[in-house]
Amino acid sequence: MNKIVSILTLSLSFPIWAQQSDISPELERDIQGRIDSGESIGFSIGVVNEAGFRYYSFGESVSGSGILPTKDTIYRIGSVSKTFTAVLVADYLLREEIKLETPVADLFSNPISLPILSNKPITLLSLANHTSGLPNRPDDYVDAIYNNPPVYSENQLFSFLARYRLERPVGSAVRYSSLGVSLAALAIADRAESNFDSMLNEYVLEPLALTNTGVYETAAVMTNMAQRNTDILSLIEGHGPLEPGGGLHSNSEDLLKFLAANIGLVGTSLRSAMDYSHQPFGDWYSPYRSTKDKVGIWWWIEGEGEETIFAHGGNQPGFQAFIGFSKVYKKGVVVLTNSRADFPVSGPIGRRILSTGSPRGD
């Protein structure tokens, strides 16, 4: 079985973690079975708590290479990108004293046409809690994949928004929308006279020292990129207006740093923004639970009281990602895999690790 475990402490003041696996033998067999069946090529898994960072690797980064993925192996993280956008948007709103109830059209320097029904405008709040009524993606987005090169422009996006008709008034029903996340990011970038990539780097990635997370896939990034496990034509990745909702790549090391900051295990200038993004702003019916959960600024808030976890999953053709954490028990989990499955893989594994034994990881 191809497997490796590595352990790092958060800081010199933290005790060395006793060697005890966060992954049960049963779950390890499940993971290996997914690799043996070809469903996944490999897994990069990370766990953080007050004792430090732990990394677990299974399978291969590239099929047939015999090389294990590591904490440095990069994966496309799909909708986990939304949690980075959440911190960026929350930070900007707090700094500029802008309320979530603000109509999003008011943030743009030039007039834009957005759909409206029953005189209820699309607000930042409705974008944050997925009640804007906007679809997941524009209806002309898939057609753009077949362009050479595949490009979807801001002009195409705003043209779609101008002609789209809402089926229900804003705020009346939940409809998951990656497009809505991107619209919020575009709005604050326009108001700041900047762009999403620059703002993400300046206000989120650089303060947290996340050097392997971003949109642009440089030669160094591609050297460490895990193999995509699919023959399906890829969606448009990066360099476009929809990247805030799902266009980032990252690795388990960066994602654990991100979780450590969200949990409060390390100090950060983004503390207020992260806490703001964790506040419940609406209801959400999770596919993983039989009860009604909450949604923050694009974070899923699952459970109640001491059992509350904050989580998000991501899926791009050939890749799946999951991040989740408990503030009460100060434990976070990252699961990255190059999987061809069309059903959730990383999320169920991540939730099992979060709930293994004591949530504290003791």
* Under 8 Å between Cβ of 128 and 171: no
The secondary structure of residue 214, as a DSSP letter, is B
* Under 8 Å between Cβ of 125 and 276: no
Which of 151, 168, 198 is a domain's end point?
198
Q: Check pLDDT > 80 for residue 276.
A: yes
Same domain, 254 and 334: yes
The identity of residue 315, as a single letter, is: N
Beta strands in 66-221 (DSSP E): 74-76
Same domain, 156 and 225: no
DSSP-assigned beta bridge partners for residue 314: 321
Q: Looking at the 3D structure of the chain, how many domains does it have?
A: 2
Residue 204 forms part of a structural domain = no
Q: pLDDT digit string (tens) for 103-136?
A: 999 999 999 999 999 999 999 999 999 999 999 9
Question: What pLDDT is recorded for position 131?
Answer: 97
Same domain, 194 and 222: no
Question: What pLDDT is recorded for position 9?
Answer: 47
**Structural domain boundaries, residue 273:** 3-81+215-299+310-354
Which of 139, 164, 198 is a domain's end point?
198
Q: Residue 157's pLDDT band (boundaries 50, 70, 90)?
A: very high
**Mean pLDDT to the nearest integer, 30-40:** 96
Residue whose C-alpha is closest to residue 82's, from 224, 229, 217, 250: 250
Same domain, 234 and 316: yes
Strands of the 331-339 sheet, one edge to the other: 3-8, 52-59, 40-49, 331-339, 319-326, 309-316, 300-302, 292-295, 282-285
* Under 8 Å between Cβ of 274 and 285: no
Residue 229 forms part of a structural domain = yes
The secondary structure of residue 17, as a DSSP letter, is P
Q: Check pLDDT > 60 for residue 362.
A: no
Residue 173 forms part of a structural domain = yes
Residue 224 forms part of a structural domain = yes
Residue whose C-alpha is closest to residue 348's, from 327, 329, 320: 320
Residue whose C-alpha is closest to residue 39's, from 320, 312, 333: 320
Same domain, 234 and 337: yes
Same domain, 193 and 233: no
Q: What is the pTM of this model?
A: 0.93
Q: How many CB atoms lie within 10 A of CB 338?
A: 27
Same domain, 249 and 285: yes
Residues in the chain: 362
Q: pLDDT digit string (tens) for 43-98?
A: 999 999 999 999 999 999 999 999 999 999 999 999 999 999 999 999 999 999 99
Average pLDDT, the chain: 90
- Give Cα separations from 121 to 117, 190, 210, 284 (angstroms): 7, 19, 36, 21
Residue 235 forms part of a structural domain = yes
Question: What pLDDT is recorded for position 219?
Answer: 87
The identity of residue 286, as a single letter, is: S
**Mean pLDDT to the nearest integer, 156-164:** 96
Q: Check pLDDT > 70 for residue 289.
A: no
Q: Check pLDDT > 80 for residue 287.
A: no
Tell me whether residue 269 is exposed, middle or buried, using C-beta atoms within 10 angstroms of its C-beta: 0 to 12, 13 to 18, 19 or more. Answer: exposed
Report the alpha-carbon distance of residue 227 to residue 40 in Å, rounded: 10
Q: Residue 193's pLDDT band (boundaries 50, 70, 90)?
A: very high
Question: What pLDDT is recorded for position 210?
Answer: 98
Residue 305 forms part of a structural domain = no
**Mean pLDDT to the nearest integer, 3-20:** 46
- Find how far residue 51's CA is from the centre of its chain: 24
Question: What pLDDT is recorded for position 333?
Answer: 98
Same domain, 242 and 331: yes
The identity of residue 122, as a single letter, is: I
Same domain, 116 and 242: no
Same domain, 51 and 171: no
Percent of the chain with pLDDT over 90: 78
Which of 147, 166, 198 is a domain's end point?
198
Same domain, 77 and 88: no
Report the alpha-carbon distance of residue 152 to residue 179 in Å, rounded: 12
Task: Report the b/e string of 206-217 with b at 16+ CB within 10 A.
Answer: eebebebbbbee
Residue 359 forms part of a structural domain = no
Same domain, 147 and 247: no
Whether omega before 149 lies within 30 degrees of 0, making that bond cis, reads yes
Q: Report the CATH number at residue 62.
A: 3.40.710.10
Residue 206 forms part of a structural domain = no
